[in-house]
Structure 1
Amino acid sequence: MRRIADRLSVQFRVPIEPQYDQAGHRWTLRWYDGPTVAAVRCALERLFPAEERLAVRRDLTTRALALAAIRETRAGAMHRSVGSWGQRYHLEQQLADREHPDRPADPREAAMLERLLAAASAAAGRGAAGPDLARAFDLVARDGIAWLLPEPSLAGPADPDGLALAPLEFLTSRYATGVHRTAWETALATLPLRTAVAAAHQDPEADPDAARAALTLLPALRARASAELDAVEARLAAVAAGGCRDDSCGSVSTPILPAHERSR
Structure 2
Amino acid sequence: MPTPSSRRRPRLRRLADRLGAQYRTAFEPQYDPVRRCWTLRWYDGPTPATVQSALRRLGPESEGVLVRRDLTTRSLALAALRETRAGAMHRWVGSWGQRYHLAQLLADQEHPDRTAGAREAAMLDRLLAAATPDGGPWAVPDESRAFELIARDGIAWLLPSERLAGPGDADGVALTPLEYLTSRYAAGVHRAAWETALTTMPLRAAVTSAEADPEPTADAARAALALLPALRAQLNRDLDRAQARLGGVLQPQV
TM-score, normalization: structure 2?
Answer: 0.90
Counterpart pick for 1:41 among 39, 52, 59: 52
- Aligned AA (2:16): A
Give me the whole-angstrom Cα distance separating, in 1, the residues matched to 2:245 and 2:73: 57
**Residue of structure 2 equivalent to 1:135:** 145
Letter in 2 for 1:91: L
1:162 paired with 2:172, answer yes
| 1:28 maps onto 2:39 in alignment | yes
Amino acid at match of 2:159: L
How do residues 93-172 of structure 1 correspond to structure 2 at under 5 angstroms? 93-121=104-132, 124-127=133-136, 129-172=139-182
Deviations 1:62-85 (A, max 9, x none): 111111111122123334532222
What residue number does 1:190 align with?
A: 200
Task: Give the 5 Å matches for 1:193-204.
Answer: 193-204=203-214
| 1:181-200 deviations in Å (ceiling 9; x for gaps) | 11100100000111111111
1:163-198 CA-to-partner distances (Å, cap 9, x unmatched) read 110000011111111111111001000001111111
2:38–2:64: 8 Å Cα contact kept in structure 1? no
1:25-74, Cα deviation, whole Å (9 max, x unpaired): 00000111100011111111122267423210011111111111111221
- Structure 2, unpaired ranges of 5+: 1-11
Q: Calculate the aligned-residue CA RMSD, in Å.
A: 1.6
Give the whole-Å Cα distance in 1 for the aligned partners of 2:27 and 2:124: 25
Residue 261 of structure 1 is matched in structure 2 by none
Say which SS state the counterpart of residue 92 (structure 2) adopts: helix
1:183-228 CA-to-partner distances (Å, cap 9, x unmatched) read: 1001000001111111111111211111111111110110111112
Would the aligned equivalents of 2:92 and 2:151 in 1 still touch at CA under 8 Å?
Answer: no
Matched, 1:54 2:30: no
Shift of 1:236: 3.5
Aligned counterparts, 1:223-262, within 5 A = 223-242=233-252
Matching residue of 1:86: 97
Q: Say if 1:19 and 1:165 are closer, same or farther in 2 by CA, change over 3 A.
A: same
CA distance in 1, matches of 2:175, 2:105: 28
User: 3-state DSSP class of the match of 1:161?
Assistant: coil
Which residue among 191, 204, 220 is the counterpart of 2:230?
220
Q: Distance in 1 between matches of 2:185 and 2:89?
A: 25
Supply the distance in 2 between the matched residues of 1:209 and 1:51 (Cα, whole angstroms): 61
Partner residue, 2:4: none
Structure 1 residues without counterparts, runs of 5 or longer: 246-264
